[in-house]
């Protein structure tokens, strides 16, 4: 195994790739890891007279701890969700079912101006603890409060304490993401 040397880099500067791994190789290898698909939502109270709901599709979402109940989501640095969660500690998670592929695609679009229209025809309720949308038909919903934020490369890991959790009697399977496409089990 070759020796690894560390060089000092200015705070906030990206750390160069270690020798040998390209972006394409990294993406290709990790595309073979199937992941569940969730919709992360939060309410931006300062956007207009009643605020605005913001949503983001995520596949990098995991359970962290049972005691206390903690989850983690990875958000791209400087994205709208990253900026909002840096100011607003309350957010929600809807675990999407195999029938909710369009919802995942809708909130995965880059460069959109506003999420207001994306929520307009989407069945949802406002969570009592976080005030963020919880998507109807989801396999499970969680409401969270940020406990910690950890910058990791070009993403921030947001660790949240689960305030509420619900798993309605939905019989559908989960929506998954594998080899660059949304899929369902079975």
pTM: 0.85
Q: What DSSP line would sit under 125-142, residue for residue?
A: EE-TTT--EEETT-SEEE
pLDDT surpassing 90 at residue 30? no
Out of 33-37, 46-50, 55-59, 93-97, which region has the weakest mean confidence (pLDDT)?
A: 46-50
What mean pLDDT do residues 78-92 have?
A: 94
Q: State the CB neighbour count (10 A cutoff) for residue 140.
A: 17
Q: State the CB neighbour count (10 A cutoff) for residue 95.
A: 20
Does the N-terminal peptide bond of residue 9 adopt cis geometry, omega within 30 degrees of 0?
A: no
Percent of the chain with pLDDT over 70: 86
Distance between CA 186 and CA 176 in Å, rounded? 11
Contact 103, 122 (CB under 8 A): yes
Tokens of 139: 């396999």
CA-closest candidate to residue 42, choices 140, 166, 133? 133
**pLDDT band, residue 2 (cuts 50/70/90):** very low
Tell me what the pLDDT averaged over the chain comes to.
Answer: 87
CA-closest candidate to residue 124, choices 47, 55, 77, 23? 55
Per residue in 126-140, pLDDT (tens digit) is 999 999 999 999 999
pLDDT surpassing 60 at residue 15? no
DSSP, collapsed to helix, strand or coil, labels residue 148 as: strand
Out of 5-14, 17-26, 167-176, which region has the weakest mean confidence (pLDDT)?
A: 5-14
């Amino acid at each position: 195994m070759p020796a690894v040397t560390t060089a000092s880099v200015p705070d906030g500067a990206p750390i160069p790739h270690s020798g040998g791994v390209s972006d394409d190789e990294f993406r290709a290898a990790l595309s073979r890891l199937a992941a569940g698909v969730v919709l992360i939502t939060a309410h931006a109270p300062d956007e207009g007279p009643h605020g605005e709901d913001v949503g983001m599709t995520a596949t990098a979402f995991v359970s962290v701890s049972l005691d206390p109940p903690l989850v983690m989501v990875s958000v791209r640095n400087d994205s709208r969700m990253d900026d909002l969660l840096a100011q607003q500690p309350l957010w929600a998670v809807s675990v999407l079912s195999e029938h909710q592929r369009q919802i995942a695609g809708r909130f995965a679009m880059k460069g959109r101006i506003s999420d207001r229209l994306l929520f307009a025809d989407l069945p949802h309720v406002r969570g009592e603890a976080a005030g963020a949308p919880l998507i109807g038909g989801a396999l499970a919903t969680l409401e969270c409060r940020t406990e910690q934020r950890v910058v990791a490369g070009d993403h921030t890991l947001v660790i949240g304490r689960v305030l509420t959790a619900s798993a309605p009697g939905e019989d559908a399977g989960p929506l998954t993401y594998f080899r660059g496409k949304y899929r369902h089990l079975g």
